[in-house]
A and B are shown apart, each in its own frame.
Chain A
Amino acid sequence: MAPPMVRQTMSPSAAPEAPTGCWLPGTAVRVRALMPPGHVRTPAYLRGKTGVVERVLGPFGNPEQLAYGHATTPLPLYRVRFHLSDLWPDAAASTDTLDAEIYAHWLEPADAP
């Protein structure tokens, strides 16, 4: 079997800036709509979507840096709760939700331009 393609790595300087503050549970946040290469732990289907902080975890090292042996500054990790009907245009109306863990540097205020 041929070896897999070597992925382009994202340099630490290309990573979005980590926010300085910390969001409390209940805060509406939006996942940044970025598509960088690398060991990104933010699922593509959540990018650009708005949810609410369910709880704050961490701090944890940034896997986008850890995966390539770079030094990392620990970041808050948020569990963000989304409504399924906000994620999928064809979803039936319901109260069903999806929770995912999103690192701080992937989040912005829900009302950011």
Chain B
Amino acid sequence: MPHDHPDHDAPDGLSPSGHPYRADQDTDLTYWQTLEIAVRELMIDKGVVTPAEVTAQVEAMDARSPADGAAVVARAWTDAAFRARLLSDGSAACAEMGFDVGPMKLIAVENTPEVHNVIVRTLCSCYPRNLLGLPPDWYKSRAYRSRTVREPRAVLAEFGLVLPSSTTVRVHDSTADMRYIVLPMRPDGTDGMTAQDLAKLVTRDAMIGVGVARAPA
């Protein structure tokens, strides 16, 4: 971009707006990024995959969002038979709605006045990406992973969720082949709302269990 403003050379290393310049976020490729590029290019050279297929997979991943999970939750709130199927076989129930949760199996865990569920993955950062899209950065942080299994109530309080001692907190460490989604409690004052409108109350955080569904406006 050409610099057409007159004060390009501001004194003291400050930008024209008077703020310090921030370092560019560009960094060298990591070892693993270099390895991924090398393997990808080899697979393309050998005809195992095409560039278009790689791009299509990236676009499919980017297109997934918590709205998919929210639609599942809203249907469970409005369709008791679906809710029962979701709780007994999460993968099959999501497939009914056209959401393929992939080779991993999905377990839906239900919040009630007595039990609050929260999902964590201590060993790495596995996440129900096919239903919620890419995970938030904090979900992958060492602090969230190590503290949630040790002091879940303190972690939830930092998210603004203070639970009464009469509620049991159930932490789910997603260690192996399962992926988890929390079925939050349906908020009060939502009788008669459509599934489509209810879905707007279902946040990503509520489906991880670090929050609850929004109250209706």
Contact = CB atoms under 8 A, between A and B. Distances in A.
Interface string A85-96: 001100100111
Contacts of A42: 175
B123 A57 contact: no
A88 B149 CA distance: 10
Interface stretch (B40-48, B133-141, B163-171, B195-203): B163-171
A63 B176 CA distance: 8
B150 interface: yes
Contacts of B150: 84, 87-88, 91
A95 B165 CA distance: 9
B175 A100 contact: yes
For chain A, give the interface size range.
20 to 34
Interface string B96-107: 000000000101
Contacts of A57: 105, 177-178
Contacts of A21: none
A70 interface: no
A96 to B, nearest CB: 4
A4 B176 contact: no
B173 A100 contact: yes
Given A1-B28, A43-B123, A96 B178 contact: no
Interface of B: 28, 30-31, 105, 107, 122-123, 149-153, 165, 168-178
